[in-house]
């Protein structure tokens, strides 16, 4: 029960929601293990955790590679003795009409958003089963519930995350917890994924007008983690009050 002392691994931890989660959970007493592709930015987040009195380890990883997720789990066990929570937060965003035929962007979005979650499950599930406890938290999106033009591929991957997580929850019920966090507009650098300059500018304006801080999502993650062991929060949808 609670957060203090728990070992929590976070992918996509170098910026945005992942960075906010690392700082917030460390402040609550967790030992955080950070993974992302950019080692320089990861190191900066780990240093901020340490400066605030927390404990952090980090490793540069690509979530589409199972061996990289396994190495993150191994790092948690080597540095802190075990792993209590894996937050699969790394994400990619393909935005634009399907008629653009941005196949490379589609494949990257599927690889990161779906394969990344599956690789995390594959890496952590045997350990969680051996320990007799564990908690998967997967970052989905309100796009999984409301599809709009230009977001078909992205929404499809996030709907897949919801479905995979629910299937996993049922299979491991009673021993391992599974939570989906579905954020709405969040103040991150997600428009940078968009190639079209006009569309990117429109998304940036919408973000600046509507978006909630990533710390709000981090707090939702903390709520799910701090519940008593016998309680599983299946899904939390958190969006700006102004988001339709």
List the catalytic residues.
Answer: 154
Residue 223 burial (10 A CB sphere; 0-12, 13-18, 19+): middle
DSSP state of 85: E
Three-state DSSP state, 20: helix
- Contact at 8 Å (CB) between 181 and 137? yes
- Of 5, 221, 11, nearest to 123 by C-alpha is 11
CA distance 168 to 189: 30
Pairing of β 55-60 and β 85-88 = unpaired
Phi/psi of residue 136, nearest 5 degrees: -95, 130
């Amino acid at each position: 029960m609670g957060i203090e002392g728990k070992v929590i691994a976070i992918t996509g931890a170098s910026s945005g929601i992942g960075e906010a989660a690392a700082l917030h959970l460390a402040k609550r007493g967790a030992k955080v293990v950070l993974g992302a592709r950019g080692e320089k930015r990861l190191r900066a987040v780990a240093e901020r955790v340490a400066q605030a009195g927390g404990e952090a380890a980090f490793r540069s990883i690509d979530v589409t590679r199972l061996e990289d997720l396994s190495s993150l789990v191994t790092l948690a066990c080597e540095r802190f003795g075990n792993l209590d929570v894996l937050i699969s937060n790394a994400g990619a965003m393909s935005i634009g009409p399907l008629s653009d035929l941005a196949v490379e962007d589609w494949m990257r979005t599927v690889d990161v958003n779906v394969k990344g979650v599956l690789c995390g499950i594959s890496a952590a599930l045997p350990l969680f089963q051996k320990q007799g406890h564990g908690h998967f938290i997967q970052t989905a999106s309100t796009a999984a519930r409301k599809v709009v033009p230009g977001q078909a591929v992205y929404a499809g991957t996030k709907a897949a995350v919801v479905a995979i997580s629910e299937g996993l929850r049922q299979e491991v019920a009673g021993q391992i917890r599974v939570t989906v966090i579905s954020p709405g507009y969040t103040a991150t650098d997600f428009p940078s994924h968009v190639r079209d300059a006009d569309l990117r500018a429109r998304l940036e304006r919408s973000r600046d007008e509507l978006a909630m801080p990533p710390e709000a999502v981090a707090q939702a993650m903390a709520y799910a983690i701090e519940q008593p062991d016998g309680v599983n929060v299946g899904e939390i949808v958190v969006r700006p009050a102004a988001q339709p």
